[in-house]
Structure 1
C-alpha cells in the first residue's frame, strides 16, 4: 500500500492515573492530511504490525495521525532600532533588509523567486500572542495556485503550511552583495587614507598645525573604515545560515479570501500571515514603522514632502511610524496641493523592488480590467498613485503588498498592482486598495484583531 507518510516516531502513551508498569511502545506514523481514509489507515496499521512481528517485534503497536513535517526554527530578525553610530556609518542601511520594519521583503517558501512586500503587522487579539502580517494574496499564494477559493488555516494543525520567507533569492543576493561592496569600498578607503597619511611623513617637532590636523583626519578615516568592516563581517556571519530559503522561513499563510471584485467594485486581494514565534524580538520591535533610509537623504524628504505637508518631520532613526487611517471620503476630497497648485494627495511607501518612493494620488478613481490565467475578465474601480515628477516610478513588480501612507503617517492603502508596458520593469501608474475599505474585510475574518502598537518616535529632524 502506498502511504504518503511524513514522520515515524517511537513513543509511549500514558494516562496520569495509569497503573504501575510501562505502557506499550507505539510507532506513531504521520501521514499527509486527507491522503488516507479511515479504512485504508486501518489496513496500513495492520500491514505495519505484520512487518514488525515478522522482524521479531511483536509487542510494538502502530498508530497513525495526520501531520506534516516542517522546520520550526526560522531566522531571528535583526532589531530595527539602529543606534546613532549605525546611522552615521551606514550600517542601518546594510542591516535593514534583515529587520521587520515595513516594507519587509517576503516571498513564498516554495517559490522563493516570487518576491513581494509585507504591509502591516497585527495582533490577532488581546488574548492571543500571535503576530500577523498583511500582504496581497498574489504575493502569499502566487498565481500558479488557484485563486478562486477561500484559503483558511487559522488552526496550526490543519492543512498544509504555505510558508513565507523573508527575502526572495534575488533580494537575499542583493543584500549580501551590498555587504561585499561595502567591504571593498572600506578597504579602498583604508588604502587611500594610509597613502594620504604617509605623504606627510613621520611627525616632526615644529610641524605645522595644518599638517597635524590632516594626519589626524587620515587616522580617523582609517579607524572609521575598520569599524565598519568589523560590523559588516559580524553581519555576514549572522546571515550565513540564511542563504537556503528553508532557513529564511518567518511564518505561514493562515487566511486569504478568493481574489474577486466585490459589489462595491473593489478588488479583494489580501492574505494574512502568522509570524512564527521567536522570529521577532518583541523587546526591540518597533511595530508598524516604515524605513526611510536608502534612496533619499533626510534633506530630500523634508524638501519633497513639505511642498504638500508643511509640518512634515523626519525621524532621526529613519523609522517613520504608520498610525491613523485616511477615510474613504478624504481619499476623494483632499485639499493637499502639488507644487503647481493642483489638488493631490501626497503619499510614500517602502517596497521590495523600488525602496522608498514618493507619489501623488488623485481623487478620481481609475477603471481596471483584470485578466486572469483562465481568460476571464473582471472590472474594478481603484485608487491610482502617480509618480512624483523626476523621482522615477512609484512602484515596480515586487512592491505588491507595500503599505502607502501620507506625510503624517496615516495609512492610505496597500499596493496590489500597476499598469504599463510589459517590457518595462516599473509601473506608469500604481493601484492601491484603500485601507479604510480593507480594514472592514479584515475585521470580518479576524474580529478581535488590531494593528500592532507602534512605538512613539522621540527624536525628529
Structure 2
C-alpha cells in the first residue's frame, strides 16, 4: 500500500485506491465479487487493525450468523481479506484507460491549434497561442505516460493483492443492542493488517483523501449551505482530511438538533462527508431523522434498530451513499464541522 501522493503528481488518481487513506475497497478472498469499504484503523501494541462491517466479510446469504474469533492454535482456517475485489480492480483499470483516452483527445486538439497558429497572419496572436498551448500539450503528454505507468502499477497490484492480504481476527454475531430507548444494529468485524502491506513511512492514519475530482472551492462551498454563515471546515493543504473520535448516538442527536451551521432556510444543519467504495467522495446533511429498520436473524424474533439518515446535499445531488459504502453506517469516514472541536 502506498502513501498518498501530492496533487501535482500525474498518477494521483491511480495511487488512491492503493493508498493508506480511508475508503479502501475490500472483500473476503473467497467472495471477491462481494465488496465493501474499509472503516477505520486502530492499533494494539505491535499490530494494526481495521474496522469494517460484518456483511462485507461474512455475507448473510452465504454465512451463518455466528461468532468468529481466530486463534493461531485453533487449527481453523483464517479468513483472508483482499485489498481490492474483482469489480473495484476492473473499475480502476477502466478509469485509467478512460483517462488516457481523454488526454489523447486533448493532445489532438492542441496539435490542431498549433497548426492553426502556423497559418495565422497576425504573428502576435500566433505567438500568444503557442505560448498557451505548448505547456499544456507537454502536460497532457506527461499525463499519458503516467497513466500507462499507472496501468502497469494497477496490474502489478492486481497480481499481488491475493498473496499480500490481511485476515479477519474477530467478528461477533449480528444483533440489535438496546440501551434505554435506543436500539442499534451491531454488525462489525475486525481485520488484522498484514505487516508486509504497509510500513510506518507510508501509513497516514485515519484520514480521508479528498482527491482531485471535486475542486477545492466547490467542496468548501458545499460544506456551508448558507453563505452568510461560513463553515468551520478548512480544506487541508495536502488534501488529507484528518479526523478523530466517534460520535455516539446521543452526541449525534445533539449535533443534529443544536448545530451552529444554518442552511439557506435558516434551519440548523450539520454537513458530513464520506469516501465510499461505490459513491466515492460525497457530501450531505445529517439530520434528526432516524430510520427504523426491521432486522431478521435466523431462529430469533425480528428486532427494530434505528439508523442515522444522511440526505443528498441538494435535490439535484446524487445519493449520499449506495450499496458498497458498507462501513459508513459507523460514521468512520464521516467528518463534520463540530467533531474537531470536541473530544469524543
TM tier, shorter chain? 0.7 to 0.9
Residue 72 of structure 1 corresponds to none
Task: Tell which has more relative contact order, 1 or 2 (C-alpha 8 A, sep 6+).
Answer: 2
Range 276-285 or range 323-332, more displaced = 323-332
Distance 1:331 1:94, change over 3 A: same
CA distance 1:367–1:152, shift in 2 (3 Å):
same
Q: In the TM superposition, what is the alpha-carbon distance from 1:271 to its structure 2 partner?
A: 0.3
Q: 1:236 to 1:409 in 2, by over 3 A?
A: farther
Change (3 A) 1:148 1:210: same
* Offset from partner CA, 1:326-365 (integer Å, 9 cap, x none): 3543311232233322233321111011111112222353
Cα distance in structure 1, aligned partners of 2:59 and 2:235? 36
**Alignment correspondent of 2:134:** 219
Give the TM-score normalised by structure 1. 0.65
Select which of 333, 346, 357 maps to 2:254.
333
Q: Deviations over 1:104-130 (max 9, x none)?
A: 1111111001110001011123xx2x1
Q: 1:397–1:156: structure 2 CA closer, same or farther, 3 Å change rule?
A: farther
Match of 2:77 among 160, 166, 187: 160
C-alpha distance after superposition, 1:253-311 (max 9, x if no partner): 10011101123221110001111112123213211111222553211211111237622
- Once the two structures are TM-superposed, the CA of residue 325 in structure 1 deviates from its matched residue by 3.4
Q: 1:18-417 alignment to 2 at 5 Å?
A: 77-80=1-4, 82-86=5-9, 89=10, 91-125=11-45, 128=46, 130-153=47-70, 155=72, 158-201=75-118, 208-243=123-158, 247=162, 249-264=164-179, 265-293=183-211, 295-307=213-225, 310-334=231-255, 335-336=258-259, 337-372=262-297, 377-389=302-314, 390-402=316-328, 403-408=332-337, 410=339
Distance 1:290 1:85 in 2: 18
**Partners of 1:133 and 1:275 within 8 A in 2:** yes
- Pick which of 110-119 and 178-187 moved more: 178-187
Could you say if the C-alpha distance between residues 364 and 190 of structure 1 is closer, same or farther in structure 2, counting changes exceeding 3 Å?
Answer: closer
What is the rounded CA distance, in whole Å, between the counterparts of 1:235 and 1:267 in structure 2?
A: 40
Gaps of 5+ in 1: 1-76, 412-435, 437-461
> What is the alpha-carbon root mean square deviation over aligned residues?
2.6
Aligned length: 327
Alpha-carbon offset, residue 147 of structure 1: 4.4
TM-score (structure 2 length as normaliser): 0.86
SS of corresponding position for 1:247: coil
Q: Specify the structure having the higher radius of gyration (Cα).
A: 1
* Contact 1:147 1:258 survives alignment (8 Å): no
* Closer, same or farther: CA 291–374 of 1 in aligned 2, 3 Å: farther
